[in-house]
Amino acid sequence: MDKTLEEGKISGHLARLAAPAIIAQLINALYNVIDRIFIGHLPEVGALAITGIGLTFPVTVTISAFSSLLGKGGAPLAAISLGAGNKERAEKILGNCTSTLVITSFLLTALLLITKEPILYAFGAGEETFKYANEYISVYILGTVFVQLTLGLNTFISTQGFAKTAMITILIGAVINTVLDPVFIFVFRWGVRGAALATVIAQGVSAVWVLLFLLSRKSTIYIRVKYLRPDIKIIKDIVKLGISPFIIESSTSLINVVLNTQFRKYGGDMYIGAVTIMTSIMVILNIPIVGITQGAQPIISYN
């Protein structure tokens, strides 16, 4: 741990850990917002394209929900083990989370590539908007492993008390995404595919950053090859703790599907596009609550 969480004032630790977490959440929210800003400015098709992106939101949320199932389930358990002085168990939890995230990523990628068309139509896609939704999600799905590793393993950095390092993980991805978006969308004229590719590359670089940190001596616990073999008992413990954030995020996806299908029925594509913009604002409004919660988690778990 960068500072011993069993000493000092709780308020001081909370401020130190929550501030970077709030900034990280704000930066993370910019991923979707930046894509939508640039896509919305595509000549002539911007409105339809942003609606298409909105239709993919439940899929992207579901992908991140699986990273929460393992990351937010495993990281607190690792911190509890560290607080108990059991570093070996903490590293076993980290290793199991790493291998399970990779396995889950490949299963999700295969499943979504096979079912993406009926899923998008079920989520409210029309003849005009399906093209843009399909272009975006087809590329995004291929980067599922990067999303899983970045979001799932970054929690193991913050749970050790390295909140600033965890924030840098998100910052790196956001900066790369912001730089590549206009280049891919307007310069190379790849449109919606370019936006998705920029996001995948950004997540890929962030994933490498996270892995390098958890393999370095800067980390309190390390990813060790001997602990990568899945242990059913440990995975069960992880899932028991991670099922709550998984359900919360999955329910957000479900609500969005209901909204999209009803707006498609009663208002049309422009209604879905408007909700897409509103969703971005709603995510930003929730950031302080999420940041404070993430700042408190390492302190509570370690003690």
What is the reported pLDDT for 256?
A: 83
Q: What is the pLDDT of residue 165?
A: 96
d(C-alpha 40, C-alpha 90), whole Å: 45
Contact 169, 205 (CB under 8 A): no
SS (H, E, C) the chain: CCCCCCCCCHHHHHHHHHHHHHHHHHHHHHHHHHHHHHHHCCCCCHHHHHHHHHHHHHHHHHHHHHHHHHHHHHHHHHHHHHHCCCHHHHHHHHHHHHHHHHHHHHHHHHHHHHHHHHHHHHCCCCHHHHHHHHHHHHHHHHCHHHHHHHHHHHHHHHCCCCHHHHHHHHHHHHHHHHHHHHHHHHHCCCHHHHHHHHHHHHHHHHHHHHHHHHCCCCCCCCCCHHHCCCCHHHHHHHHHHHHHHHHHHHHHHHHHHHHHHHHHHHCCHHHHHHHHHHHHHHHHHCHHHHHHHHHHHHHHHHC
**Checking phi first, is residue 223 left (phi over 0); if not, alpha (psi -120 to 50) or beta?**
beta
List Cβ neighbours of 147 (8 Å cut-off, separation of 6 or more): 63, 64, 67, 105, 203
CB atoms within 10 A of CB 251: 12
Q: Quote the longest CA-to-CA distance of the chain.
A: 60
Are residues 12 and 286 in contact, defined by beta-carbon separation less than 8 angstroms? no
| Residues whose CB is less than 8 angstroms from the CB of residue 115 and which lie 6 or more positions away in sequence, other chains included | none
- Which pTM was predicted? 0.91
Could you give the CA distance from residue 37 to residue 30 in angstroms, rounded to a whole number? 10
- Give yes or no for a contact between 95 and 221, defined as CB atoms under 8 angstroms apart: no
Contacts of 184 (CB under 8 A, 6+ apart): 190, 193, 194, 195, 197, 198
> How does pLDDT run along the chain (303 residues), one tens digit per residue?
545 788 889 999 999 999 999 998 888 777 667 777 888 888 878 888 888 888 898 899 899 999 999 999 999 999 999 999 999 999 999 999 999 999 999 999 999 999 999 999 988 888 888 999 999 999 999 999 999 999 999 999 999 999 999 999 999 999 999 999 999 999 999 999 999 999 999 999 999 999 999 999 999 999 999 999 999 999 999 999 999 999 999 998 888 888 888 888 888 878 888 877 787 788 788 888 888 999 999 999 999
Per the document, the length of the chain is 303
Place of tokens 């929690």: 155
Which residue from 269, 274, 246, 288 is spatially nearest to 62, judged by alpha carbons? 246
